[in-house]
């Protein structure tokens, strides 16, 4: 692991990306990778850069697409097509459209079809909270989880993000339906760690807490057994239905070919219908109460999701952003190519 500054990271990635797109978009895309890592979401930050470059070079992701295209709409619900453009930049546009719709109608939904990987669900909900709105964003993925009871990779590790604006910085939940990200489980397998709860089946279909048995011919299952299973299926089918886009089944089971996801952006504008001062005070009361709770030995204090975001950013601003040495080398090679 090495440490780089945000500006170094953006500059290096933007140089590599500029081979595939204009400089302005290359910089914005580089900021997404660096920003996600800066926020502590290493699993969907700079580590994804080499893979995304390959996705563009293979033609799966079309870097020439400048704007999402409107398919249909009525009032506060609009359907847009990302035409397999650069995932996070297309998703940014859809999130901004949802914000505009919510500002006009109190609530708004932009449903986006045929997008490339948006990297991190939380980015778009956070964008809404930064604009003073609440956000609910979700996407489907390729088939990468086994449903409860089966050994077949058949459902998606679909993430859902929710964000709420708050006086001391937005609250942000960003969770996929598996207990751990697959990458995290691979790391735990290498470290010989044991999972807190069964998170998959081994190659013989036995539930297991040993990540090595899941990584080695087994399969991940959703969190909370039947509950994560149900959530995965509903998010997938709602995403496909709202957007008129692909389902998880359409996306297939080959992660290397994951392309054309259905992504949903819902923004709600409470300030349009409320005096926010009292509501924010009531929310702060809850946060203060949670912070004051006694916790068990060895556990961190209770926090609402996202409350550590500013602290994480400050630490990375001071110490640099951690990135795997080989990832950084790939980023530098792409920059110098």
Give me the least distance between CB of 224 and its own copies, in Å please: 4
Give me the least distance between CB of 110 and its own copies, in Å please: 10
Q: Is 295 exposed, middle or buried (0-12, 13-18, 19+ CB in 10 A)?
A: exposed
DSSP code string of 62-111: -TT--S-EEEEEETTEEEEE-TT--HHHHHHHHHHHHHHHHHHHSEEEEE
Judged by CB, which is closer to its own copies: 18, or 287?
287
In angstroms, rounded to a whole number, what is the distance separating the alpha carbons of residues 37 and 6? 9
Helix axes 325-336, 49-57, angle to 10 degrees: 40
Q: Are 244 and 113 in contact, with CB atoms under 8 Å apart?
A: yes
Cα dist from 165 to 9, 133, 306, whole Å? 28, 6, 11
Give me the least distance between CB of 13 and its own copies, in Å please: 30
Judged by CB, which is closer to its own copies: 237, or 335?
237
Judged by CB, which is closer to its own copies: 54, or 285?
285
The token duo for 16 is: 């590599």
Give me the least distance between CB of 235 and its own copies, in Å please: 8
Burial track 113-140 (b if 16+ CB lie within 10 A, e otherwise): bbbbbbbbbbbbbbbbbebbbbbbbbbb
Judged by CB, which is closer to its own copies: 16, or 108?
108
Catalytic residue among 44, 117, 269, 316: 44
Give me the least distance between CB of 46 and its own copies, in Å please: 24
Give me the least distance between CB of 125 and its own copies, in Å please: 10
DSSP letter at 143 equals E
Judged by CB, which is closer to its own copies: 78, or 92?
78
DSSP code string of 28-59: HHHHHHHHHHHTT-GGGTGGGHHHHHHHHHTT
Give me the least distance between CB of 291 and its own copies, in Å please: 11
In angstroms, rounded to a whole number, what is the distance separating the alpha carbons of residues 108 and 104? 8
Q: Are 160 and 138 in contact, with CB atoms under 8 Å apart?
A: yes
Side-chain-side CA neighbours of residue 165 (13 Å): 16
In angstroms, rounded to a whole number, what is the distance separating the alpha carbons of residues 158 and 185? 17
To the query of whether residue 291 is one of the catalytic residues in this protein, the response is: no
CB atoms within 10 A of CB 323: 23
Residues known to be catalytic:
44
């Amino acid at each position: 692991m090495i440490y780089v500054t945000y500006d170094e990271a953006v500059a290096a990635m933007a140089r590599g990306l500029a081979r595939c797109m204009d400089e302005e978009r290359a910089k914005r895309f580089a900021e997404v990778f660096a920003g996600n890592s800066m926020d502590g979401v290493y699993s969907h930050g700079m580590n994804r850069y080499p893979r995304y470059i390959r996705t563009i070079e293979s033609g799966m992701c079309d870097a020439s697409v400048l704007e999402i295209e409107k398919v249909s709409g009525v009032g506060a619900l609009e359907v847009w097509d990302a035409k397999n453009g650069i995932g996070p930049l297309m998703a940014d546009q859809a999130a901004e459209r949802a914000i505009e719709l919510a500002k006009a109608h109190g609530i708004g939904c932009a449903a986006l079809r045929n997008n490339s990987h948006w990297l991190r669900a939380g980015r778009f909900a956070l964008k809404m909270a930064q604009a003073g709105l609440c956000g609910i964003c979700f996407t489907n993925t390729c088939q990468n989880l086994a449903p409860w009871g089966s050994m077949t990779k058949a459902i998606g590790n679909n993430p859902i993000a929710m964000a709420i604006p708050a006086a001391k910085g937005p609250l942000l939940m960003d969770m996929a339906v598996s207990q751990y990200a697959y990458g995290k489980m691979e790391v735990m397998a290498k470290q010989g760690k044991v999972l807190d709860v069964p998170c998959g089946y081994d190659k013989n279909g036995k539930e297991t807490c040993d990540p090595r048995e899941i990584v080695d011919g087994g399969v991940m299952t959703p969190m909370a057994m039947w509950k994560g299973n149900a959530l995965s299926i509903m998010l997938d089918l709602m995403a496909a239905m709202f957007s008129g886009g692909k389902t998880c089944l359409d996306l297939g089971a080959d992660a290397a070919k994951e392309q054309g996801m259905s992504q949903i952006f819902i923004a709600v504008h409470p300030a349009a219908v409320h005096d926010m001062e009292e509501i924010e005070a009531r929310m702060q009361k809850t946060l203060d109460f949670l912070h004051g709770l006694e916790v068990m030995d060895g556990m961190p204090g209770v926090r609402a999701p996202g409350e550590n975001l500013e602290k994480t950013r400050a630490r990375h601003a001071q110490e640099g952003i951690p990135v795997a040495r080989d990832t950084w080398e790939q980023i530098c090679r792409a920059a110098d190519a």
